[in-house]
A and B are shown apart, each in its own frame.
Chain A
Amino acid sequence: MARIVTKRRLNPTVTLLEIESPMIAHKAKPGQFVILRVDELGERIPLTIADFDSIRGTVTIMYQSVGLTTKKLDLLESGDTILDLVGPLGNPTEVDHVKRAVVIGGGVGCAIAFPQAKFLYRAGVHVDVIIGFRNKDLVFLEGSFRKNCTNLYITTDDGSYGEKGFVTTKLKELLDAGEQYDLAIAIGPVPMMRFVAETTKPYGLHTLVSLNPVMVDGTGMCGGCRVKVDGTVKFACVDGPDFDGHLVDYDELMTRNAVYRDQETAAAEVHRCRLQALSDAAMMGGARNG
């Protein structure tokens, strides 16, 4: 059981939870993730450790509500508990010998990019950050990033905030202007990571992407998280989740990630009633407490 100590909405679909787990907080490194199960009937889902505080003994996750499990998480408030929390899993991001880095985050991927930027910046690395969103309403973590990078660039698809365009537009602009980096880290939707990798390739810029395949155990036991990298099969939970962005088979990743889409929509429908009941109960609980 792990207790939620803070809950904060970052934008209409992204929520931050700070969860008590001294063991994980003590061990976590940027790039690693946890797997959680909200309750006995729930699914196990992987979420990146977006921040950790070994003194408070907490880890922070930021998730986008996309399906049943993340919607169930949304029903929890600070003080509530999560049944199972396992971590830290995966390999920490390799950032040794890096002097100048560009960190690129797309949408909820910004949450995952944040610890990397922060870690690099605090280690004295020059860190340029490019974060992109569909529109102004979805922008989050701006202040946190500002405190943890050298330059921050924000793009929106519709130009309602920051610069109009995609993160790749800005990235290409910087590279063409002669900015030199020895590492690019790209985290976001699969198509975005692919475009970033395509953008950096002609410049020979080493690019890490953080992959998000379907996972069950997170310990190398189910093979559900297998991805093809440079023609060989890798298990993202133990060999990753970071891989060389120029070598990943993105098409395979996208079809495999869509495998439960239809069913998940159906499942969400079936479980809608239960969620409704849960949320009613939560509201009543809230009313009592308040």
Chain B
Amino acid sequence: MADMTSPRTSMPERDPRLRRRTFEEVSLGYTEEMAVAEANRCLQCKHAPCTAGCPVNVRIPEFIAKIAARDFEGAYQAITQTHGAPAITGRVCPQETQCEAKCVRGIKSEPVAIGRLERFAADWHMAQKPAFALPKLPANYTHVAVVGSGPAGLTCAHDLAQLGYAVTLFESFHTVGGVLVYGIPEFRLPKTIIRRAEADLRSLGVQIKTNTVVGRVVTLDELMEEGYRAIFLSTGAGLPKFMNISGEGLAGVYSANEYLTRVNLMHAWNPDYETPLIKSRSVAVVGGGNVAMDAARCAMRMGADEVHLIYRRSEAEMPARAEEVHHAKEEGIQFHFLSNPVAVTNNGSGHASGLTCVKMELGEADSSGRRTARTLEDSEFTLKVDTVIMALGTSPNPLIRMADPNLNVDRKGCIIVDEQTLHTSREGVYAGGDAVTGAATVILAMGAGKLAAQSIARALETQSD
């Protein structure tokens, strides 16, 4: 048996001093030798606790055994029995709270690097097989509409197309991918991976209609009248929250979504593009999730001298992936924990000149187990910054629910569905991903897309019987 204390195989990364100014991918991926070595750390546990920790139950020991046996394509095939985009999940899943959290090897030393292995298998497959015909069942000419092309929509469209349905994917932006293209930056998730997923969809016969805002240019009723037999709503949760503090309306104050959309979707990082973005010297990012990390690291790459991250609780409570926090620190982001903004100051001509914060203290855990944060008196301090980016969370995109009063939503604007089938209050209309759960994770959105495809197929089959 393997030495139970051997640490995990580290993954090569670009030097922080070099990468903090470029958008090239930070993590370089395992070589074949590294992947085999890491796969050999797996104990092949019969009860596979890791699989139970994965929201979609990837058959982890099975795919890792194939990597250990150098059957890399077999490993890829084993993963894609469960979900189709390991190149994405391997890079962005919060593994430390999911699959890897349950890994037995984690008890005595470090868990098996499941995410890195997943990424390796996917990258290997893409490098070996640049293009190939995807298996598909014979066409059955039943039309299904998928609205929104984030991970939930991409997965649902893919699975339905594979089952032979005629799928049309509607997207309001000019590019498909949802948060994967407008939110998560290139240095964490290269966009070639999403272009590849898009090409796969096209080769499966999925019609892709970009620049199409469902609810404005075409309503759900009209889609039904046009002959779509089912609709899957995967419109995400992008509506940004603000703090309602004074000075938030000043120039130089962005929501993380606007900042990231300008940098990623609109390529502000590439001087060939015409997208304007403030040239910041000193930036404050407010929040502690993945979105805040991405905004801070983008600001650094856009040339800021200093980037501050302000989070109201302590490091232990930060919801961001551990790896992102680690990378952000390496790149020189300055963390201010237990700090809460109270005002953005004005430079006298309507532009932000600083962020005034107070210090916080953590109290007892409340009924939900979360420790409450209390303001410390006389603890005010001001950071001199010219740009403030608010990354405080988001709620479901408003257009769909505004356009369709018959769609039941909860108080927060999340679409209400039957959990077993993802069916909404409207006949033939299903919903999943962030639009239902509020801001969550890529893998949960993919899981919802899969479940929706299954229940749509089931419903349509019984109808045609």
Contact = CB atoms under 8 A, between A and B. Distances in A.
A and B interact physically: yes
A94 B248 CA distance: 29
B211 A85 contact: yes
Contacts of A226: 242, 249
Given A27-B217, A83-B174, A238-B402, A220 B397 contact: yes
Contacts of A259: 251-252, 278, 351
Interface in B247-276: 248-252, 254-255, 257-258, 261-262, 266, 271-276
B398 A42 contact: no
A233 B272 CA distance: 34
A200 to B, nearest CB: 25
Secondary structure of the B side of the interface? loop
Given A84-B174, A222-B258, A233-B242, A41 B276 contact: no
Contact of A258 (B251, B271, B272): B251
B239 interface: yes
Contact of B257 (A23, A85, A222): A222
B399 interface: yes
Contacts of A264: 276
B255 A223 contact: yes
B432 interface: no
B53 interface: no
Secondary structure of the A side of the interface? mixed
Nearest to A88: B216
B402 A219 contact: no
A137 interface: no
A217 B261 contact: yes
B111 interface: no
Interface in B210-246: 210-213, 216-218, 238-240, 242, 244
B274 A68 contact: yes
Contacts of A89: 213, 216
B232 to A, nearest CB: 18
A223 B216 contact: no
Of listed B210, B258, B273, residue having the most chain A CB within 10 A: B258
B350 A41 contact: no
B172 A217 contact: yes
A23 B173 CA distance: 16
B275 A223 contact: no
Contacts of B174: 37, 44, 83-84, 86
Interface in A29-66: 37, 41-44
Interface string A214-244: 0011111111101010000100001000000
A220 B258 contact: no
A88 B217 contact: yes
A23 B279 contact: no
A46 B121 CA distance: 43
A238 B398 CA distance: 8
Contact of A271 (B250, B274, B350, B351): B274
Contacts, number: 120
Interface residues of B, number: 43
B407 to A, nearest CB: 16
B276 A87 contact: no
B99 to A, nearest CB: 31
Contact of A255 (B212, B251, B266, B402): B251
Contacts of A249: 249
Contact of A223 (B217, B242, B397, B399): B242
Of listed B250, B349, B350, residue having the most chain A CB within 10 A: B350
B274 A267 contact: yes
Contact of B172 (A43, A86, A223): A86
Given A264-B276, A267-B274, A267-B276, A222 B242 contact: no
Nearest to A28: B217
Contacts of A254: 350
Given A41-B273, A258-B350, A219 B217 contact: no
Contacts of B239: 220-221
A203 interface: no
Contacts of B251: 255-256, 258-259
Of listed B217, B278, B397, residue having the most chain A CB within 10 A: B217
Interface string A162-202: 00000000000000000000000000000000000000000
Given A43-B275, A86-B211, A216-B258, A233 B240 contact: no
Contact of B397 (A87, A219, A263): A219
Nearest to B175: A84
A43 B266 contact: yes
A270 B217 CA distance: 36
Interface of B: 172-174, 210-213, 216-218, 238-240, 242, 244, 248-252, 254-255, 257-258, 261-262, 266, 271-279, 349-351, 397-399, 402
Interface of A: 23-24, 27, 37, 41-44, 68-69, 83-89, 216-224, 226, 228, 233, 238, 249, 251-252, 254-256, 258-260, 263-264, 267, 270-271
The 10 A-B pairs of least Cβ separation, nearest first, read: A255-B350, A221-B238, A223-B255, A222-B258, A259-B251, A260-B276, A84-B174, A252-B249, A223-B240, A224-B258
